Structure 1
Amino acid sequence: MDSVFHLRRRRLASIAIVMLMTACGDSQEPALTVAGVEFSSEQVRGLSAEEIEQLADLASVGRAVADGSLVELVAPLDARAVERSRLQAMPLHLGARRMGLGEQAIHDGYERDPEWELEVRHVVRLVPRWAGPAERAEARALAEQVASRARAGEDFSALAAQLSEEPGAAERGGLLQPGRRGSWVGPFWDAALTLRVGEVSGLVETEYGYHVLRLDEKRAIAFDQASVLPVLRRLVPQATAMQAMEEWVATRPPLEVESGALEDARQALLRTRFPDNIVIARTADGGSYS
């Protein structure tokens, strides 16, 4: 689990660095300033309020990368992600127990369809959110040329060094840190997973631009290092999981809703995407639910 979060931190840091590099550098008055990073009105034009908030988040992370405080910044997020993962898995584990599925059955199910760790090289032509049709068409055409040249036998590392716009691509030949499901955005992962080792992809479009991928290595993740959630989802019917969860809840101490907590939660939802620190209810034995 720690290694998965490590990969996610590295990906988030890379995104933030790109955003910092594309921040405005001209003399016009900035439309948005976050942690000393300025963005012009042209760069934020057409962005929704939620997208501007995401841009601000990325700029803040980029600043944390620059001053070395990223690990401290993301530690609470990692802890919350672990807790959410446990809560999401709980009905499935209870359902498996209800069905009499032991460790060996779950292990065998995983071995039949394991999770994977991939080593991928890629070339990316970045396309900012505010890019017009001409800029998008140019980036797409260049990426298509890369795919054609790589499939014709040109050295992929050299193409990445010459044409990729990812920071550090030249030094690494476009090689990314090993990735697992969730390490990369969905279209990128899906494309990489379908490749054979040594195979070059066609054009892959993500929210960051146009990519061309080559799969260098594909390794099955050992059972004791992988998430068993995908296996449990295949083995445990949703109805069984929910029934097992309801039975477990019925055995718990009764809940007493905190006075005003629901209104506090409603107000928090209007202010932030992740209001997970408000205690909604408490149990007689001292437990709390947020």
Structure 2
Amino acid sequence: MTKTSRSFRLQRLAARATLPLLCAALAIPAHAQSTDSASSNKGKTQRAAPKAAAKPAPKRAAKPAAKAAKKPATSKPAVTPAKPAPAASSPAAAGATPAAAAATTSAAPREADYIVAVVNSEPVTNNEVRARAARAAQQLSERGVPTPPTADLRKEVLERLISERAQLQYARETGIKVDDAALEQAELAIARQNELKSIDELHRQVQQQMGITVKDFRDDIRNQVTLARLREREVEPKLKVTDSEVDAFIREQTGVRAPGQDINLAMILVAVPEGANAAERTKLQQRADDVARRAKAGEDFAKLATEFSDANNRGRDGGVLGLRSADKYPELFVRATQRSRIGDIVGPLKSDAGFHVIKVLERKRNNDLPEVRIPQTHAHHILLKVGANQSERVARDRAADMRRRILAKQADFETVARENSQDESAAEGGDLGWVSPGQFVPEFEQAMNNLDPGQISPPIVTRFGVHLIRVDERTERTLSSDEQRQLARNMLREKKAQESFDTWAREVRGRAYVEYRDPPR
């Protein structure tokens, strides 16, 4: 694979990984959705510790996405409805355009509606299954994928609907709600993806092209946003991606090793025998502490290794482990030395084998990664936190009043931010600097992406509180190697999130009472 093709592939992967979870859940038709589009979202919201750059989340990093590809200037794509959020079901059960459903149902005799299953106390009807199956068949056709037999497809669709219904019930029981403001932001994102100028135009297209009511469309979108928030709450906080996993992922996707990851370490091992009692362990740890102290004081590490190391060769090679990529070293060593300089002594580190004293001998930068370009946004925001001293309603009203005063030129955004914002950016007038796709939680980033330069959002609610957002300008830039590593980390995190969510969804489905009903005779 050439460097150019690798670069293109990584950019496509970048775009795919940083699409907002919501937009991943909404069924955009194949002809209207490019894998290179980069309407990103997914990460955390306020500044947190830097994730190097790119997906990812206000840590000051990001899960970058590639530049959105321009859509053909032919006819406008049909607007698409919500597709189910990730659940334990095969791709064949994914939704397709409602327009397809309308075409399918109008071409065939209309079947009677009846209950096909009950999930706890809620029914799933034949009409729901038929409409979803028709959309799935159309989407598969657009992708050039053979459509399964109707009976098999409907069976898959029914199982997905049952899983979704169980998840939505759990979301309601655990207090997840999607207010009208969040719903409007989701609709605006869909309108923009379909190159429509407003939500009203989206609603007209939904009624005219799809033959479904605005209420049903909005209910479906609300459900998908609910499922996205459920996944964000139940799955994402538990995910962890290690440096060695990132390195392996980069090699797999690009054929190039991650830059700056070849290291050479020396080690002294003070072994702890199996079955050692507490007193013996304490004595051995004291020996390791003494070795580390002497090494840090400047004594020759190789001589200390020869004298004290219990490694296989008893330190006769000075404890040198050799120059190798980070994924060839134990994660314990890599994590402990990742911020260390050449010559630094680290430890003792405790493992099942005993206590390790590590010296960083060498770091070598290997091949650079292919070029990846991402969109960036310069934005300001104001945050009003919600809690015992301020309800969400009060915070929303305050934010709406601030926005009104700013738009009326009675105050400027920066001054209002300095005086009122409860974010660390308040001192800079709410300036977030240049941010990359995926750097904020989905609700925040989606609202930011919906703004044109100079616009101020209505009050936006996230887990951090209520925000006003102003977009100043947009640009595009090339990612550094560190930022590409962050991009890879977030892509891998998204992959793990999907796998974890599938497992979690199956557990929720397993706890639900499901009764299947036969069709009426």
Q: Which protein has the larger Cα radius of gyration, Structure 1 or Structure 2? A: 2
More helix by percentage: 1
Report if TM-score (shorter chain) is over 0.5: no
**If the length of structure 2 is used for normalisation, what is the TM-score?**
0.24
Give the TM-score of the pair, scaled to structure 1: 0.42
Q: Which has the higher contact order (CA 8 A, sep 6+)?
A: 2
